[in-house]
Amino acid sequence: MHGTIDGFSYGLITPVAGYIMACLGSALGLRCTVRSVRSGRKMPGWLLLGAVSIGCGIWTMHFIGMLGFTVRETGIDYDGPLTLASLLFAVVSVGVGVGAVAYRGTRPPVLLTAGLFTGLGVAGMHYTGMAALRMDGALEYDLPTVAASVTIAVVAATAALWAAVSVRGLSAAIGASLVMGVAVTGMHYTGMAALSVRLHTHVAEPAAAGSPATAVLPMLVAPLVFLVVAGTIVMFDPLLILGDDEADIGRRPRSAVLR
């Protein structure tokens, strides 16, 4: 017997909130990458801050979306280590991709390789986060739809990495982050459309326990606090306030960036 899935139990609240967090993480990541251009020895620190911002934004979007996910016949909980592993997937894959294009530029071989690695990492974050679900049932997926979600993740990651080192100006960065938010949210809900739940036991009545909000909200605290702190750092950075984002590090060799 398959469970009755509802991915929008709070209506549009969770998709819109998740989209906003994906845009926020993307915007912070873009600004941190811009700031790294003239940071000299501090460049790795700014790139790390940007990678963690984007990774936390993507991960937070996923789990805000999961607040609206319910299976009528069973309660839901999460495995802690797997949930943490999904966050690390996002941060590490984004970090490797951002570092690659920041130091090596956006030549097609570099960009496509970094985009593929990062996209697979983002997809890995999503499906590891799904594997962390604990319920009285087994997750099953429609493989073509899964493939579509992975493709969206790779294309979105490639576009995000290009934007991170090529987009100039605050307004352009905001526009790019809005597009990236659509891509990240689209990947998530495409992946969720592939999902079905085969129940272990026949249950006639709705589950009375295991609220998604109870399981998910505590996990969101640390990433949300980090994004607030990162936003504060970016907001008060003097070079970004003065508009120091005209350099195009996508066309610079590594030696020029570090000079």
Q: State pLDDT tens for residues 160-176.
A: 888 887 877 777 778 88
pLDDT at 187 over 90: yes
> What's the rounded Cα separation, in Å, for the pair 167 and 171?
9
Which pair of structure tokens corresponds to residue 46? 């700014």
pLDDT tens-digit readout, 197-218:
999 876 555 555 456 677 788 8
Confidence of residue 75 (pLDDT cuts 50, 70, 90): confident
Burial of 234 (0-12, 13-18, 19+ CB in 10 A): buried
For 139, counting Cβ atoms within 10 Å of its Cβ (0-12 exposed, 13-18 middle, 19+ buried), the class is: middle
Confidence check: pLDDT of 91 > 50? yes
Distance CA 185, CA 62 (A): 8
Quick: pLDDT tens for 94-139.
Answer: 999 988 988 888 899 999 999 999 999 999 999 999 999 999 899 9
Strand 70-71 vs strand 195-199: parallel, antiparallel, or unpaired? unpaired
What pLDDT shows up at residue 241?
Answer: 53
pLDDT band for position 251 (50/70/90)?
Answer: very low
**What's the burial of 132, exposed, middle or buried (CB within 10 Å: 0-12/13-18/19+)?**
buried
Q: List C-alpha distances in Å: 234 to 17, 61, 94.
A: 22, 21, 19
Structure confidence at residue 103 (pLDDT) = 87
Q: What's the whole-number mean pLDDT along residues 16-31? A: 91
